[in-house]
A and B are shown apart, each in its own frame.
Chain A
C-alpha cells in the first residue's frame, strides 16, 4: 500500500496546492513543500528499513511490491515495485521537487496555485515511472508528465516559450508513440507465444521471440528513451526546452525527466531485449561518446547561460548512455551515481541561472562578468557547482564518471579513451562559465543583491549532498548494487533463453563477475 501512497500522495498534494493557491497564493508553496517533505521522509524511512542499514536485508528482489487489478481485459494492473534503484530515483524526485519549489519562491508570482499543481503533478508522474512494473502503467505515467511540463514551459517560460514547449512535446510524444507501439508488440508476442496476455514486467522478461522481432521492438523502446535522455541526433528539443522553461521546469527537466530516459534503458530496454541491446551496444556507446564530446563543445559555444547548462546535460547524459550499454557492474553503478550527482549539480546551476536572471533580467553571458565582486556568495557556489560539473575528485560527478570509465575500459578501450577527453572538454566549459559570469570587471550599474537566506540554504544543501556523494558513495552503491545485479542477471538469463549462442565479448555478461565489480569501494567503504 505504501507504493500507492507514494504516487497518490503527490497527486493529492497537487490538487491541494492548487486549491490553496485560490485561498492565499503563498499557501500553495507551503502546501507543496509539506507534501514533498513528507514524501521524502517516507522514502528515507523505507530506505533505512530496507537497505540493511537497520535490520536485515529484505528477501527477494523487491523491497516492497504491490498490485491491484486495473484493466483486467488487457492483463494490465497497477503493479508497483520498489528496489534500491527505484528508491534512489524517487528520493531524487522528491528532493529536487523541494529544491524547485523553493527556487521558484520569488521568481513565480503569477498563477501560483496552478504552477504548483503542475510541478507536483510532474513529480507524481515521475514517481510513478520509477515504481511501475507494468508496461502499460509505465507508459501511462511516461506520458502523464508531458502535459504539465508543457504547461510549465508554455505559461511560465521565457521569451520563446511557445516554440520550446511545442518542440519538447512533439519530440517526446513522437518517441512515446513508438514506445506504445513496441509495448503492444511485446505484449502480443508474449501472449501469442504463451497464451498469457499480460503487460506485467516480470512475466514479460525473457519472452522468447525471433531475433528480428526483438530488434524492432527494442528500437521502439530505444527511440522513446533516447529522445528523453537525450541521445545526440535527437537531442535538439533539449536546449530549447531547458533554456525557455522557468527555473523549476529546468530543474525538473534536467534533474528528473532526463533520468526517466536513463531509467528506461536500465530497467526496461536492457533486461527485456538483451540480445538486440547487445547488438546495438557498440553503436549506443559510440553515440554516448559522441554525446559527451558534442555536448561539451556546443556548451562551450553558447552565449545563453541556460542553453550552456543545457548542453552540459547532453554531455553528462552521454556518460550515462555509455555506462548503461557498457553493461558491467562498474559502469551501471557509475551511471546511477551520475544520475544522482548530475541531478544535484545541474539542478543547482539552473537555480543559479534563474537567480541571475531574476536579478539581471538577462541570460546573455556577454552581459555578465565580474559578478563575484557584487555577489561573492553566489560566485562561490557558482564555482563549486561548476567544479562539480567538471568532475572534480571529491564530488559526486567524479565518482560516477570514474566508475563509468572503469567499466567502459573493460569493454572497449577506444570508447573509454574518447570519453576521457570529455573530462578535458568539461573542464574548459565549466571554467569558461565561471570566468564569463563571475570574474573580470563588473560593468553593470547599481547594486545587485547577493544570495538571500533561502537561496543560501538551498545551495548549501545541494553542495553538501554532492560532497557526501563524492566522499562516501558507499551507501548509495550498496543500495543500488542488488538492483543493478538483478538487471544484469535478467539480461544474461534472457539472453541465454533467447538462444543467442555466442557469449559476447562485450556487454551484459561481460567478463567481470559481479562480486569483483564492486572493487573500488569494498563493503566497509575503503577504497
Chain B
C-alpha cells in the first residue's frame, strides 16, 4: 500500500474513524447532541475527503477496490444521503424516550458498507461491504424496540436479507467454478482463468443467482414482497436510508457489473432484466394504487422507480450510466424529502402514516406540505422538479438504444401511477373536518433545514441541472466501459 492508496481510501478511513469516535464518545458521555454532531461532522469530512481522493483517481487499491470517477460520484451521493438521514433522525429520535446514541453508530457503519459497494470490483469486497450495510440495517430497522411493527420489520428483513445474501454467495461460487476468478471485470471479458471449468450452465446459474440476490436488495418484482412491510415498520428516517443508501449502493454495483462490464450482453440476462423491469414498473404502480398508507405507497412506488432505473441500465453504453446517475440523484433528493416530511410531522406517539391523517396539511403545516408536494411531483416526473430531468434522461437513454417497448411501458405505467401521488396531494389540500388530524409537533430546526435544502435541491435539479450534469459527466460517466 502506497500513500496514494491511502489517499484513495481516505473517505472510508474517515468513516470508520468516526464510527470508532462515536463509539468511544458514547462510553464517556451519553449526549444525543454530541453524538449527532460527531456523526454529521464525520460524514461531512468524508464528503470533503472525496475531493482529495478524486485527485488520485482512477486508482485500483489492491484487487478489491477501485476508486475511480464512478466511485467518487456514487460515494458522494451516498454520503450526502447519509448526512441528510442523520439530520432527519436527530429530531425524530429526540422525541422518543429511548437510548438514541447507538443509532448513529449503526448509521455510520451502514454508510461505510454502502460507500465501499460502488468501489467493489471483486466478489469478496462486494460481499463484505454488502453485509456490513445489511447487518447494520437490521439494527436500524428494529431500533424502536418498543414498537411491534418495527421489530417485526427488523426480523423480516433479517431473514430475507440473509437468504438473498446466500443466493449471492452461491452465485459467486458458481461463477468462480466456471471462470476461476472472483474479479468482476474479468468474469466475462478476460475469458477464463486457468482452473475454470468453463461450463455454460455454471455461468448461467451463477449469474442468475447473483441476479436474484441483487434483485432482493433492490426490491424489484418478483423479489419485492418485503419492501412494503419494512418501509412501514421501520422508523421514517431509516426507511429513507433504506430507499437511498441501501438500494442506491446496490444499484451502483449493478451498473458496474452490468453496464461497465457489459454483462447485459450475455444472452438471457438481458431478457431477464427487461422482464423484471417491465413487471416492476407495472406491478409497483398498480399495487401502489391500492394503498392508504403513505409509507407503503412510497414502498410500492420505489418498486416502480427501480424498474425505471433498470430501463436506463438496459439501454447500455455511456449514456445509460449518465441516465442512471441522474435518475438516482433525483430519486435520492426526492425520496429523502418525502420520508423527511413523514419523520418531521410525526409526534412522539407514533408515526403519521395513514393517508387520512394528511388531510388539510397544506393549511396547518404549509412548509411540510410544500416539501411533500414537491417530492410527489418529482416522483411523478413533472417539470420544475428533479424527477423530470431524471425521467427525460431515462427516456433519452431508452429511446436512444431503441428499447422502445420498455420506454413505452415506462410511459404507460407512470401514467397509471399518477393517481396515487395525486391522491396524497389532493388529501393535503382538503379542508380539515372533524376527522383525525396530525398531532401538533414542533419540527426540529435541523430537520427543517435539511428539508428546506432537499426541497431546494429538487427544484434546482429540475430547473437548472446543467452544473450537476457537468459533475456527472466528469465523474460517473467518465469511466468508459471496458
Which residues of B407-433 are within 8 A (CB) of A? 407-408, 411, 414-415, 418-419, 422-423, 425-426, 429-430
Closest A-chain residue to B380, C-beta based?
A173
Residues of B within 8 A of A317 (CB): none
- Among B399, B414, B469, residue most surrounded by chain A Cβ atoms (within 10 Å): B399
In the complex, residue of chain B having the shortest beta-carbon distance to the beta carbon of A185: B399
For A178, the chain B residues whose CB sits under 8 A away are 411
Shortest CB-to-CB span from A116 to chain B, Å, is 16
In the bound complex, residues from chain B placing their C-beta under 8 Å from that of A69 are 466
Contact across chains for A147 and B418 when beta carbons are under 8 A apart: no
Find out whether the CB atom of A177 lies under 8 angstroms from the CB atom of B466.
Answer: no
Interface-side segment among B6-14, B87-95, B98-106, B389-397: B389-397
B470 touching A73, Cβ below 8 Å: yes
> Does B422 lie within 8 Å of A70, measured CB to CB?
no
Residues from chain B with Cβ under 8 Å of A174 in the complex: 415, 418
Expressed in whole angstroms, the minimum distance between the Cβ of B342 and any Cβ of chain A is 21
Closest to B366 in A: A114
Does B400 make an interface contact (CB < 8 A)? yes
Complex Cα distance, B396 from A187, in Å, reads 9
Q: Is the CB of B395 within 8 A of A181?
A: yes
* A165 interfacial by beta-carbon distance below 8 Å: yes
B-side contacts of A177, CB under 8 Å? 411, 414-415
Assess the B382–A136 pair: CB atoms within 8 A.
no
| B464:A70 contact, CB within 8 angstroms | yes
- Any chain B CB within 8 A of the CB of A415? no
Interface string of B359-396 (1 = CB under 8 A from A): 00001000000000000010010111000110110011
CA distance A146 to B382 in the complex (A): 9
CB pair B399 A136 closer than 8 Å: no
Say yes or no: B392 contacts A136, CB within 8 Å. yes
Is A63 among interface residues, defined by CB-CB distance under 8 A? no
Q: Which residue of A lies closest to B376 (CB)?
A: A147
Q: Residues of A contacting B429 with CB < 8 Å? A: 151, 154-155
Q: B466 near A154 (CB under 8 angstroms)?
A: no
Chain B residues positioned under 8 Å from A187 (CB to CB): 396
Q: How far is the CA of A187 from the CA of B395 in the complex (A)?
A: 11
Name the residue on A nearest B427 (C-beta): A162
Q: Which chain A residues lie closer than 8 Å to B383 at the CB level?
A: 139-141, 143-144
> Is A472 part of the contact surface with B, judged by Cβ < 8 Å?
no
B385 vs chain A, min Cβ distance (A): 10
Residues of B within 8 A of A144 (CB): 382-384
Q: Which residue of B lies closest to A71 (CB)?
A: B466
**Min CB gap A156→B, angstroms:** 10
Instruction: Find out whether the CB atom of B415 lies under 8 angstroms from the CB atom of A173.
Output: yes
Dominant secondary structure of chain A at its interface with chain B: helix
B473 part of interface (Cβ distance < 8 Å) = yes
Contact B407 A71 (CB under 8 A): no
- Tell me the number of A-to-B contacts counted with CB atoms below 8 Å: 80
Q: Is the CB of A181 within 8 A of B470?
A: no
Task: Answer whether residue A451 sits at the interface, using C-beta atoms and an 8 A cutoff.
Answer: no
* Residues in A whose Cβ lies below 8 Å from that of B208: none
Residue with the highest number of chain B CB atoms closer than 10 Å, among A72, A151, A165, A177: A177
Q: For the complex, what is the distance from the CA of A156 to the CA of B261, rounded to whole Å?
A: 54
Q: Please, which residues of chain B bring their CB within 8 A of the CB of A184?
A: 392, 395-396, 399
What class of interface size applies to chain A in its complex with B? 20 to 34
For A185, list chain B residues within 8 Å (CB). 399
Chain A's nearest CB lies how many Å from the CB of B105?
40
**Contact B399–A188 (Cβ < 8 Å):** yes
B465 in contact (CB, < 8 A)? yes
By a CB distance below 8 angstroms, the chain A residues around B380 are: 173
The answer for the CA separation of A41 and B408 in the assembled complex, in Å, is 45
User: In the complex, which of the residues A73, A111, A147 contacts B377, with contact meaning CB atoms closer than 8 Å?
Assistant: A147
Task: State in angstroms the CA–CA spacing of A71 and B466 once bound together.
Answer: 5
Q: What 1/0 flags go to A10-26 for Cβ under 8 Å of B?
A: 00000000000000000
A265 within 8 A of B: no
Contacts of B430 in A (CB 8 A): 162
Closest CB in chain A relative to B440 CB, distance in Å: 21
Select one of B399, B418, B469 contacting A73, CB under 8 A.
B469
Instruction: Let me know if A196 is at the binding interface, CB within 8 A.
Output: no
Given A173-B382, A188-B399: A143 and B426 interface contact (C-beta under 8 Å): no
- B392 contacts A170, C-beta separation under 8 Å: no
B466 and A73 contacting across the interface, CB-CB below 8 Å: yes
Cα separation A438 to B391 with both chains bound (whole Å): 52
B415 contact set on A, CB distance < 8 A: 170, 173-174, 177
A169 within 8 A of B: yes
A150 in the interface, Cβ–Cβ < 8 Å? yes
The residue of chain B having its C-beta at the shortest distance from the C-beta of A186 within the complex is: B399
The residues in A between 183 and 207 inclusive whose CB is less than 8 angstroms from any CB of B are: 184-185, 187-188
Q: Are B419 and A166 in contact (CB under 8 A)?
A: yes
Residues of A within 8 A of B384 (CB): 140, 144
Q: Smallest CB–CB gap between A209 and chain B, Å? A: 13
A188: B residues at CB distance < 8 A: 396, 399-400
Given contacts A147-B382, A180-B391, contact A173 B418 (CB under 8 A): yes
Chain B residues with CB under 8 Å of A169's CB are: 418, 422
> A162–B392 contact, CB under 8 A?
no
Q: How far is the CA of A154 from the CA of B399 in the complex (A)?
A: 35
Contact assessment for B465 and A71 in the assembled complex, using a CB-CB cutoff below 8 Å: yes
Is B419 in contact with A180, judged by CB distance below 8 angstroms?
no
Q: Residues 54-77 of chain B: 1 if any A CB is under 8 Å from the residue's CB, otherwise 0?
A: 000000000000000000000000
Chain B residues near A180 (CB, 8 Å)?
Answer: 391-392, 395, 411
Q: Which residues of B are found within 8 Å of A170, using beta-carbon distances? A: 415, 418-419, 422
Q: Mark B217-258, 1 if CB is under 8 A from A, else 0.
A: 000000000000000000000000000000000000000000
With A and B bound together, what is the CA distance between A162 and B388 in angstroms? Answer: 25
Q: For residue A154, which residues in chain B have a CB less than 8 angstroms away from its CB? A: 425-426, 429
Distance between Cα atoms of A162 and B465 in the complex (Å): 33
Chain A residues whose CB sits within 8 angstroms of the CB of B399 once the complex forms: 181, 184-185, 188
B69 to chain A, nearest CB (A): 16
Bound-state CA distance A70–B392 (Å) is 15
Residues on B with C-beta less than 8 A from A74 are: 392, 396, 469
The answer for the CA separation of A188 and B317 in the assembled complex, in Å, is 15
Which B residues touch A136, using CB under 8 A? 392
Q: Which 3 A-B pairs have the closest CB atoms?
A: A174-B415, A140-B383, A177-B411
Q: List 20 A-B contacts (CB under 8 A).
A: A71-B389, A71-B469, A73-B469, A73-B470, A74-B469, A150-B422, A154-B426, A155-B429, A162-B430, A165-B426, A166-B423, A166-B426, A170-B419, A173-B382, A173-B415, A177-B414, A180-B391, A181-B395, A181-B408, A184-B392
